[in-house]
Amino acid sequence: MSAIRVRFAPSPTGELHIGGAHTALFNWLFARNNKGSLVLRLEDTDSNRSQESFTTGIIDSLHWLGIDWDEGPEQEGLYGPYRQSERLPVYQKFINQLLATGHAYYCFCSAEELSREKQAAQSEKRDYHYSGRCKSLTSEEINSYMAQGLRPVVRIKSPESGITIVHDLIRGQVKFDNSLMDDFIIVKADGWPTYNLAVVIDDHTMKISHIIRAEEHLSNTPKQIILYQALGFDIPQFAHVSMILAPDRKKLSKRHGATPIRELREEGYLPEALLTYLAQLGSAGNDDVLLTIEEMIADFSLESVSRSPAVYDIDKLNWINNQYISLLSTERIINDLSDDPQIKEWISNNGQEYLFKVVALVKSRAKTLQDIIPMADYFFNDVFAYDAKGSEKYFKSAAADFLYEVMLLCESAQPFSAKEIEAQIRSLAEKYEIKAALIIHPTRLALTGRTATPGLFEIMELLGKERCTVRLKRAIEFIKNLDI
Ligand code: GLU
């Protein structure tokens, strides 16, 4: 069997999003699982929309995710160049071949003529197909148009009847009616091939064995098969991966989940969490399990890729990210956050050691690394306001008495440690014959302003006696004022 070679072929007309990263990952897992090669090819022939900054961004995001490639930019190989904008001479050879063998022809129809054809089709309520008017131009006519300076496009002669079958490894046989296809343009008037032709020539000359890409390209595949046949190329295997839909089952949009990988990185998602999430998205297998890269590679098969669309579920991504954050060392978290101005300020005001203890305490509750900053806030800033619902629930007048007792206990606890504080609060609860929660909840609210935090006793130890006392006193005043 010939070598397994796959490719990820982004167009640098935007940033790498969840959808693109999903396609890249499936190609990468398939290549690594089969000891094959992954090619990164930049489809940058649309000079109006392609930008070098997007190329750099896509490459950065892939590096950050840990998806590496064997050939492509930064990784020269035998079948380059790997940017379409540098491949015109390669395309030219095959364009000439298609013209010489009569599979393609020059078309000089002007935009006005084509729009007239379209309008006629519309008024007769039939689908528009190019009429094929230029199919039978003689070489004299062609030469004379050229001599007039007209720049033709090139069209492929597509079959008028029959069906084209795409054998898709995920979707099975997908049939397309050839009569719906017209003589589509394969070379633009500026001499550059259109997407379908460039992709076919690239995939053939780069010896790609499996084309794994997003489902949105399935409808292009019959056109590409016509081109493979016209060029006499072997047809590779196809696998069209289902779309990822927004939670409302619409197409992912900027507003709904189509977040650039760069943004997810900035928000504090970890690459290992994104890879785990994306590997499970649209693929049957270990759900809700944290996988190592090796396990992801070993588990991957195109057979287990689902035919139905996957739904982007931020809660699941958050859950996975939280699991990975809990496993991370506190050093690495602080290191990852070290550029943040707030973190810098906290280190300079309170010292590295205090920050370290705070992060170690809150990290297991964080959904993203950035979450840690607001979660840690009350360790660095005094508390003057209280969660409204919590205040309604826990700041009853009796709470003032308990908070007063806790304040006294702060004085007597020796050492001021979580263990000692816990023991004292529990014996206080026994003394009053109440549940410890009746003391713990208002104390938490008084010290943090919140109702959900890590363990109260650990928080108290970290805050220290002074801060606790000041905050408890303030909360008692607050409760008294509520009663007036
Ligand atoms: N350049 C295309 C895109 O970014 C991918 C083409 C392909 O995979 O065939 O959607």
Q: Is the pLDDT of residue 149 over 90?
A: yes
Atom of ligand 1 nearest to the CA of 8: 8
Q: Let me know how long the chain is.
A: 484
Q: Is the pLDDT of residue 286 over 70?
A: no
Nearest CA to 99 out of 69, 133, 161, 142 is that of 142
Q: Is the pLDDT of residue 411 over 70?
A: yes
How does residue 248 score in pLDDT terms, banded at 50, 70 and 90?
confident
Residue 412, number of CB atoms within 10 A of its CB: 9
The reply to whether 254 belongs to the active site is yes
Q: 244-245 and 310-311 as β-strands: parallel, antiparallel, unpaired? A: parallel
* Cα 128 to ligand 1 centroid, rounded to whole Å: 26
Which residue owns the Cα nearest ligand 1 atom 4? 10
Residue of 5, 7, 8, 11 best suited for mutating to test ligand 1, as the one with most atoms within 8 Å of CB = 11
How does residue 476 score in pLDDT terms, banded at 50, 70 and 90?
very high
Per-residue model confidence as pLDDT tens digits over 78-121 = 999 999 999 999 999 999 999 999 999 999 999 899 999 899 98
* Cα 217 to ligand 1 centroid, rounded to whole Å: 7
Residue of 84, 194, 203, 217 best suited for mutating to test ligand 1, as the one with most atoms within 8 Å of CB = 217
Provide mean pLDDT across the span 300-317. Answer: 91
pTM of the predicted structure, to 2 decimals: 0.89
Which residue owns the Cα nearest ligand 1 atom 10? 10
Residue of 213, 221, 244, 252 best suited for mutating to test ligand 1, as the one with most atoms within 8 Å of CB = 213
Instruction: Please state, in angstroms and rounded to a whole number, the distance separating the CA atoms of residues 260 and 263.
Output: 5
CA distances from 90 to 84, 186, 351 (A): 10, 14, 60
* Cα 9 to ligand 1 centroid, rounded to whole Å: 5
* Cα 315 to ligand 1 centroid, rounded to whole Å: 29
* Cα 215 to ligand 1 centroid, rounded to whole Å: 10
Instruction: Please state, in angstroms and rounded to a whole number, the distance separating the CA atoms of residues 476 and 484.
Output: 13
Atom of ligand 1 nearest to the CA of 213: 8
Q: For position 444, what pLDDT does the model report? A: 98
Atom of ligand 1 nearest to the CA of 23: 8
Q: For position 484, what pLDDT does the model report? A: 61
Per-residue model confidence as pLDDT tens digits over 356-401 = 999 999 999 999 999 999 999 999 999 999 999 999 999 988 899 9
* Cα 7 to ligand 1 centroid, rounded to whole Å: 10
Q: For position 398, what pLDDT does the model report? A: 85
Instruction: Please state, in angstroms and rounded to a whole number, the distance separating the CA atoms of residues 9 and 208.
Output: 12
Per-residue model confidence as pLDDT tens digits over 453-475 = 999 999 999 999 999 999 999 99
Instruction: Please state, in angstroms and rounded to a whole number, the distance separating the CA atoms of residues 243 and 146.
Output: 44
Residue of 195, 200, 237 best suited for mutating to test ligand 1, as the one with most atoms within 8 Å of CB = 195
* Cα 213 to ligand 1 centroid, rounded to whole Å: 7
Provide mean pLDDT across the span 199-205. Answer: 98
Per-residue model confidence as pLDDT tens digits over 321-341 = 999 999 999 999 999 999 999
Residue 286 has what DSSP assignment? -
Percent of the chain with pLDDT over 90: 84
Q: Which of 35, 254, 389, 431 is catalytic?
A: 254
Atom of ligand 1 nearest to the CA of 216: 10
Residue 415, number of CB atoms within 10 A of its CB: 8
Between CA 198 and CA 207, with CA 204 as vertex, the angle to 5 degrees is: 135
Q: Is the pLDDT of residue 255 over 70?
A: no
Atom of ligand 1 nearest to the CA of 13: 4
Selected residue with higher pLDDT from 413 and 449 = 449
Residues in contact with ligand 1 by the CB-under-6-Å rule are 9-11, 43, 199, 213, 217
**Which domains are assigned to the chain?**
1-72+242-327 (3.40.50.620), 88-241 (3.40.50.620), 382-483 (1.10.10.350)
Which residue owns the Cα nearest ligand 1 atom 6? 9
Per-residue model confidence as pLDDT tens digits over 47-65 = 888 899 999 999 999 999 9
Atom of ligand 1 nearest to the CA of 214: 8
Q: Is the pLDDT of residue 290 over 90?
A: no
